[in-house]
Structure 1
């Protein structure tokens, strides 16, 4: 089996790719001209040889697709005409319901069902979500990621996972830096508390490494439940307590790097991935690449070399 290569839409968010001077300018242009935005992205994907896309926060979100093409099925046809397809959608919108809201479960489930219906119509079967962020270390009152907290998150994941299965979609949880699903212990605890028939895992090799963990060990332990993985490299563990606010993702950036230039054991990761249900997709994640075509070609070359005889 030869896996398909995919990427996150964030790969195409760098202002240099659009000849603009800021991320805000990129968002503004995409909002004003959604068809042109997606045509440029699809052209770059086809040129890079990557055929799958993961949607996430604006400007490459579900709302943008609907503004540009009117429906998920129309978007699916546009992609298919170029040999492309939707792989997944990541729940990363700032206005997405908060899993910590004790009374918010109906809204959380309804939001997930809406996304799952879109994915099914677009020809995809995977909804990716993250657990809420941690609190800045030392803040008062303290917030503990303990068994009680994880049980609440597991209850929400079960409700969401069951709801989206009715659309033929799986729910997979992503291991985001500084979130409550970051450290190896977080991942093991959450997976132990959730039903494998309804809750899947989307490990991110970079983010696990940034938390001081071993991405390969995590992948091997949880291989039967990995529906998709984000292939991304890290320069080393985050060596300080970051301020967890709206700037935290920018603070993480210096610890991330292109595939093959960091500390991730790519042959080990590739071997572990080959044993998972998500083995048929290799999602190369490159946040805001100035030249996404070149970066994706480099990333896929590293992945192909690492996969070797795994398949």
Structure 2
């Protein structure tokens, strides 16, 4: 039986951890994801971070790691970094590691050798994580070497899916020109974690990685739930039919208003369109 628990990624708040925790908690969410920079920031003082989460009444759901795991000669470094993240997750009582391939999408596409390297590194990370009670999942992502549908199929044909799962975001699939519902149907048995947002083609911009102080990348085409072309109800229904039991994490790279207002709009969609209880279990 499916069971959805709702979480929010802190990316919309930039580097403001305290404000993110405060506002996520005020809307009744049980969990939150953030980037793996906290591993260095709170090294040796994990209790401080645990206290921040405890005071807000939310738990850590995942950390966003990964990196250049297709790059020959960097395998040991990439594995070591992700294992540090996994150890930090374990210390925080969390068990999902998002393996996000680093940007950009490789010119000419990802080569066979790069796929082979990526699979070997991911398998090693996945195996070590599994021994620690942490699940690692590759995250297909626009503007990375695992962007297009053919690239998704290739890497998941190569990895050992007993060790390496999938982290899926329908908006990234839509941005790359594929059908998120079809991808979800194909890979439902190995989906271990989910990001949700929408994709609005009319807002497309080629400037993917512009940063301002303390803010996330300017990815205007990723939008609030219900504002774009993603069939979110259909996507969620596929997960439900496959008995997905895990987190649905709202992730919005950049609000067009404020992080709080975007969270209010997304929360309204989750309640009114999907019928979710924000702080509860949702079959």
TM-score by length of 2: 0.84
Query: What is the CA-CA distance between 1:86 and the residue it aligns to?
Result: 0.2
SS at match of 2:151: helix
Candidates 90, 96, 108, aligned match of 1:126: 96
SS of corresponding position for 1:297: helix
Q: Aligned partners of 1:129 and 1:79: how far apart in 2?
A: 23
Please tell me whether the aligned partners of residues 44 and 293 of structure 1 are also in contact (alpha carbons under 8 angstroms).
Answer: yes
Give the match for residue 86 of structure 1: 60
Give the corresponding residue for 1:257.
Answer: 223
Contact 2:141 2:147 in 1 (8 A): yes
2:109 counterpart (144, 159, 177): 144
1:8/1:284 contact within 8 Å kept = yes
Instruction: Say whether the 8 Å CA contact 1:136–1:243 is kept in structure 2.
Output: no
Task: Give, in whole Å, the separation in 2 of the partners of 1:106 and 1:186.
Answer: 23
Aligned mates of 2:229, 2:18 — CA distance in 1: 35
Which residue of structure 1 lines up, in the alignment, with residue 34 of structure 2? 55
Over 3 Å counting, the alpha-carbon distance change for 1:147 and 1:276 in structure 2 is farther
**Runs (4+) off by over 6 Å:** 237-240
**How far is 1:77 from its partner?**
4.1
- 1:172 equivalent in structure 2: 137
SS at match of 1:191: helix
Change (3 A) 1:181 1:305: farther
Q: Normalising by structure 1, what TM-score? A: 0.77
Taking the aligned partners of 1:192 and 1:112, their CA distance within structure 2 comes to: 22
Aligned to 1:34: none
TM-superposed CA distance for 1:75, in Å, is 2.5
Distance of aligned partners of 1:204 and 1:148 in 2 relative to their CA distance in 1, 3 Å threshold? same
**Higher RCO by CA contacts (8 Å cutoff, separation 6 or greater):** 2
Q: How does 1:1-311 map to 2 (within 5 A)?
A: 3-13=4-14, 37-56=16-35, 61-66=38-43, 70-71=45-46, 73-91=47-65, 98-135=68-105, 143-236=108-201, 242=206, 247=210, 250=217, 253-275=219-241, 278-289=244-255, 290-308=257-275, 311=283
For structure 2, the 5+ residue unaligned runs are: 277-281
Unaligned runs of at least 5 residues, structure 1:
14-26, 28-36, 138-142
Q: Deviations over 1:32-55 (max 9, x none)?
A: xxxxx4333221111122221111
Distance in 1, matches of 2:135 and 2:146, equals: 18
The structure with more radius of gyration:
1
Secondary structure in 2 aligned to 1:171? Answer: strand
Q: Tell whether the 8 Å contact from 1:134 to 1:178 is kept in structure 2 after alignment.
A: yes
Task: Tell me, in whole angstroms, the C-alpha distance in 2 between the residues paired with 1:38 and 1:259.
Answer: 23
Q: 2:279 is matched with which residue?
A: none
| C-alpha contact 2:7 2:31 (8 A) present in aligned 1 | yes
Bigger proportion of residues as strand: 2
The number of residue pairs the alignment matches comes to: 272
